[in-house]
Amino acid sequence: MSVDLSLIERSACEIVDLLREESVSPHDLLDTLAAQVARVEPQVNALPTLCFERAHAHADALLKQPVGERGLLCGLPVPIKDLTDVAGVRTTRGSLVYRDRIPETSDAGVTLLEARGGVVYAKSNTPEFGSGGHTYNSVFGITRNPWDLSRSAGGSSGGAAAALASGTAWVAQGSDLAGSLRTPSAFCGVVGMRPTPGRVSYGPAANPYDTLGIHGPMARNVTDAALLLDAMCGEVECAPMSLSEPATSFLEHARRPQRPARVAFSEGLGIATVEPEILAICRKTMDHLAGSGIGVDESDLDLSGATQAFHALRGISYAANYEEVLAHHRDVLNPNVIWNIEFGLQVDNRAMLAAHRTRGSLFHKMNALLQRYDVLICPASIVLPFPVEARDIREAVGQHFDTYIDWLAITYALTLTGMPVIAIPCGMSASGLPVGIQIVGKPRGEAALLSAARAIEEVIGTWFVGKPQTA
């Protein structure tokens, strides 16, 4: 067993360089992660299912190949969100319905990731069927924020974000619908990217034409997120909307940061009111950008029509995926999951027509704005990480929310536009909790977005994840 906890502090790109130099082996990394997991997991509960034996077997197979043929990740360990199938590994989707389920085949996205040198060693925690901005379920319990164990890690990719922040992952696969990559990134001080629908391949899905729920990379910094995005993207046969790999890697774009000339800043996209402390930190970030020579303008963008449209489209998605589950397992489902499915079953034609019209209008509004600016920036969450005992947020900043997901409007409004969005940390609250911003790029503009985000990261700095109380 070879354990070197100093490796935890290295970036994913540095770790891959060490793997290519054969200065470390995938087995060294797995042993180090196992030691860190043993140290922090009892407190955090980010990675409730481990598969180190499978991972070591995969590492053995990789090491039989010449180093140049070990793929883009070259043996880098990667945890997979518990919504996504990994062959031979318990995959519960956070639900008692699937608590003993062990799939025989992996999701196409996992297969692609492993073919590119990723080594799967764990499943990250998620709320049941990914249905919420706080990670808890009846199978594995609550995932806690490494910066303050009494606080939420966000959701639904809360396990992935908490693993990054507590040093039990260098990169992590996640997914995003209402902000499931971006909210946990903001809460845990890491980076999460929601790419263009189709950019990251996965499947087979019950609705392969869905453009709301997507997979994306999570990491500790922008460059590492670009590395994982490269490993996740590409066409697969079971995903009819999957896009081909770019001619120039996303990592190369991230390594050539270009400061945006002009940035639009919105306090709440016309749909959300943000806690004053968060807003003050975000405004200070804008001051830093302006001081570096970037033009920053206030935006009057109004995406307030998003709420009704998002509920209709999201409801239809839940009904399509889980109607049969509700029919046979209502007694063990989270009440929020039941509400999601039943809401979708009740959406009528008029509501669907209105939702599609609204979504089109939101895209055109955002696209028009991004013809004038390189990127749009806004807060990534309206609240700081809340106590883990709270199952959801129903009131905040003087607002009452009709549903348990409406506090996420600042993220789900951007989902409807289809634009690529990256969330990065931008500061810390007085109580020592992370704060993040969302940076929105042009249609299919991940390359330019990553380059701009890396430049912004250079200006505002990073908040290394090795510093939380659990690391």
For 74-91, write each residue's pLDDT tens digit. Answer: 999 999 999 999 999 999
Nearest to 282 by CA among 406, 421, 439: 439
In a domain, 470, yes or no: no
CB contact set of 65 (below 8 Å; sequence gap of 6+) = none
Q: How many residues does the chain have?
A: 471
Distance in angstroms (rounded) separating the CA atoms of residues 75 and 155:
28
Q: Rounded to an integer, what distance in angstroms lies between the CA atom of residue 85 and that of residue 431?
A: 38
470 pLDDT exceeds 80? no
In this prediction, residue 466 carries a pLDDT of 47
Print the domain residue range for 17: 5-460
**Three-state DSSP state, 393:** coil
Q: What tens digit of pLDDT does each residue of 415-443 get?
A: 999 999 999 999 999 999 999 999 999 99
Domain assignment of residue 471, yes or no: no
CB atoms within 10 A of CB 179: 32
According to DSSP, residue 327 is labeled H
Q: Buried (b) or exposed (e) across 206-222, using 16+ Cβ within 10 A? A: eeeebbbbbbbbbbbbb
CATH of the domain at 352: 3.90.1300.10
Average pLDDT over residues 454-462: 94
**Cβ neighbours, 10 Å, residue 164:** 32
Rounded CA separation 237/341 (Å): 29
Asked whether residue 468 is assigned to any structural domain, the reply reads no
Q: Is 471 a residue whose pLDDT tops 80?
A: no
Residue 197 covered by a domain:
yes
Averaged pLDDT score across all residues of the chain: 96
**Structural domains of the chain, count:** 1
| CA dist., res. 247 & res. 453, Å (int) | 20
